[in-house]
């Protein structure tokens, strides 16, 4: 499930980048959650249990985090090559490890701290030449990674007691609500990434496909995290770089240069080391 999701997810990034010239990243983000609500609604018939629970505020926070993560990432895609944006974003697994230690009290030792620091260096290698060309927009994937890290932590907290279908439906509801408020504010304040325009029929079709693929992929990821530990699944996230590189080359004629590949290699190597250490410590604890 994780591999299928990671191979398909670059498809929504490609659509978002394709639409960037005519539709703002904020509106694309809103559409992604709007269609998620539509596609998830029929599935709710198979869920049980009360809707208003003490965990509702966690659902709201989770929806807000995935909304902001999507907004920042789509904004970065408008100015960055797909592979570059996703490679920078992949400091996220390292951030999850760091934030787990801060908020859940999970142990973290100097080896993993060193690996996390090395991963950030890899991200800076990719960002540095791009930053001189596009400015602070090159940092959008970094902001997306921070927001998505909190989304993953909230998912880990909720998924053990919540039906994945209901979990994703709540994410769509609160994500759409947050983006509706953001678009309203952006329209009044004339913020470019939050501009609103009426899509053409072709653009509506692309937005619907984006919402469908995003819904299926995130549902697969949620089920995967329910069936296996984050230490086992997290390395498979790097499969997404393969799909992003292929689509970037085919659709946008983009291919990472040598410096970008160096940064990608450092990020992946540091991430794999962190996952290896987590798996080893988990095995030692079980023993």
pLDDT at 287: 46
Instruction: Give the closest residue to 85 by CA, choosing from 284, 234, 250, 267.
Output: 267
Pairwise CA distance, residues 154 & 188, whole Å: 32
Whether the Cβ atoms of residue 77 and residue 16 lie closer than 8 Å to each other = yes
Give the other-Cβ count within 10 Å of 173's Cβ: 17
Alpha carbons 28 and 178: distance in angstroms, whole number: 13
Its domain, for residue 125, covers 2-286
Least confident of 11-15, 212-216, 254-258, 279-283: 279-283
User: Considering its fold, how many domains does the chain have in total?
Assistant: 1
The pLDDT, as a whole number, for residue 230 is 64
pLDDT tens by residue, 160-187: 778 888 888 999 999 999 999 999 999 8
Mean pLDDT over residues 116-122, rounded? 76
Question: pLDDT tens digit string along 236-264?
Answer: 777 888 888 888 888 988 888 888 888 88
Q: What is the pLDDT of residue 176?
A: 96
Average pLDDT rounded to a whole number, residues 119-145: 76
Mean pLDDT of 215-234: 79
- Whole-angstrom distance, CA of residue 170 vs CA of residue 84: 31
Pick the range with the lowest mean pLDDT from 145-154, 159-168, 191-200: 159-168
> For residue 84, what are its two tokens?
């570059």
The pLDDT assigned to 177 comes to: 96
Q: What is the CA radius of gyration of the chain?
A: 18
Q: Say what the pLDDT of residue 224 is.
A: 84
The predicted-structure confidence for 24-64, as pLDDT tens digits, reads as follows: 999 999 999 999 999 988 888 777 766 777 788 999 999 99
Are the C-beta atoms of 208 and 37 separated by less than 8 Å?
Answer: no
């Amino acid at each position: 499930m994780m591999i299928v999701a990671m191979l398909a997810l670059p498809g929504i990034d490609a659509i978002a980048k394709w639409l960037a010239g005519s539709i703002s990243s904020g509106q694309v983000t809103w559409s992604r959650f709007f269609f998620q609500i539509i596609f998830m609604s029929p599935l709710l018939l198979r869920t049980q249990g009360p809707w208003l629970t003490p965990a509702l505020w966690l659902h709201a926070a989770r929806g807000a985090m995935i909304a902001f993560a999507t907004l920042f990432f789509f904004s970065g895609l408008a100015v960055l090559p797909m592979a570059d944006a996703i490679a920078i974003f992949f400091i996220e697994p390292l951030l999850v490890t760091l934030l787990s230690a801060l908020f859940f009290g999970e142990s973290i030792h100097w080896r993993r701290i060193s690996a996390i620091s090395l991963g950030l260096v890899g991200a800076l290698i990719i960002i540095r030449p791009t930053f001189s060309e596009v400015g602070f927009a090159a940092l959008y994937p970094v902001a997306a990674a921070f927001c998505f890290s909190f989304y993953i932590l909230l998912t880990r907290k909720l998924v053990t007691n919540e039906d994945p279908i209901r979990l994703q439906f709540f994410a769509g509801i609160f994500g759409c609500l947050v983006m509706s408020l953001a678009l309203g504010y952006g329209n009044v304040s004339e913020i470019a990434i939050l501009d609103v325009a009426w899509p053409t029929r072709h653009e509506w079709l692309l937005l619907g496909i984006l919402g469908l693929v995003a819904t299926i992929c995130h549902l697969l990821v949620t089920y995967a995290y329910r069936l296996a530990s984050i230490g086992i699944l997290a390395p498979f996230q790097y499969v997404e770089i393969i799909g992003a590189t292929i689509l970037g080359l085919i659709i946008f004629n983009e291919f990472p240069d040598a410096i970008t590949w160096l940064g990608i290699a450092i990020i992946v190597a540091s991430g794999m080391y962190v996952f290896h250490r987590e798996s080893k410590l988990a095995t030692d604890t079980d023993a």
